[in-house]
């Protein structure tokens, strides 16, 4: 099921996030954790794209395993800051081949000591490419307190608007820190 269809139902939704392993020798522990989480019957499980030092190489396989083995809908993260358009197209082909229809399009963190790839500067560019690549439900990130790299909140809202105009169907945020801002 597409995440947008879950979110438009008149009931709360519950999701959990899974982080790929940092090394191949810890893959089994992640597989065990996904089994335990899936047993809780969440509406969907989100699989990150190598956050916290993990590797994006496992995202598609973990997401496919959750979906095929446990019947839980998945949201696969995809970052673009250090990716080429060719790499993104390859990952989207893999997701499509595995029947994964939900993608969280993220710019991602600029690698420490590195520079972004030349193909993507903003998540809106990734959203546009995902939209053109097939029938994916596309999510994006938003920042209630403003993106930490944004010079102003208006500039942040302009970037958010660009994501939605490019095809982003829902937005998600990490925990906000000052609920008086909302």
- Catalytically active residues are 17
* Helix spans in 98-166 (H): 123-133, 153-166
Cα 20 from Cα 30, distance rounded (Å): 7
Look at the block and give the residue holding tokens 């994501």: 163
Alpha carbons 23 and 25: distance in angstroms, whole number:
5
HSE of 35 in the Cβ direction (CA atoms, 13 Å)?
6
Q: Which 3-state string (H, E, C) describes 147-166?
A: CCCCCCHHHHHHHHHHHHHH
The enclosing H or E element of 77 equals strand 73-79
């Amino acid at each position: 099921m597409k995440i947008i269809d879950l979110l438009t139902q008149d009931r709360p939704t519950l999701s959990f996030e899974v982080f790929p392993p940092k090394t191949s020798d810890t893959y089994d522990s992640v597989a065990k954790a996904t089994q335990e989480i899936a047993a809780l019957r969440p509406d969907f499980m989100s699989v990150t794209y190598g956050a916290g030092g993990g590797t994006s190489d496992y995202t598609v396989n973990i997401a496919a395993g959750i979906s095929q083995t446990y019947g839980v809908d998945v949201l696969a993260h995809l970052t673009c800051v250090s990716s080429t358009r060719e790499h993104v197209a390859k990952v989207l082909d893999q997701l499509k081949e595995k029947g994964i229809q939900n993608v969280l399009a993220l710019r991602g963190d600029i690698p420490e000591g590195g520079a972004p790839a030349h193909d993507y500067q903003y998540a809106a560019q990734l959203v546009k490419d995902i939209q053109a690549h097939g029938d994916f439900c596309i999510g994006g990130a938003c920042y209630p307190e403003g993106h930490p790299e944004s010079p102003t909140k208006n500039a942040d809202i302009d970037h958010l608007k660009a994501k939605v105009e490019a095809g982003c169907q829902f937005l998600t945020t990490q925990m906000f820190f000052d609920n008086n801002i909302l």
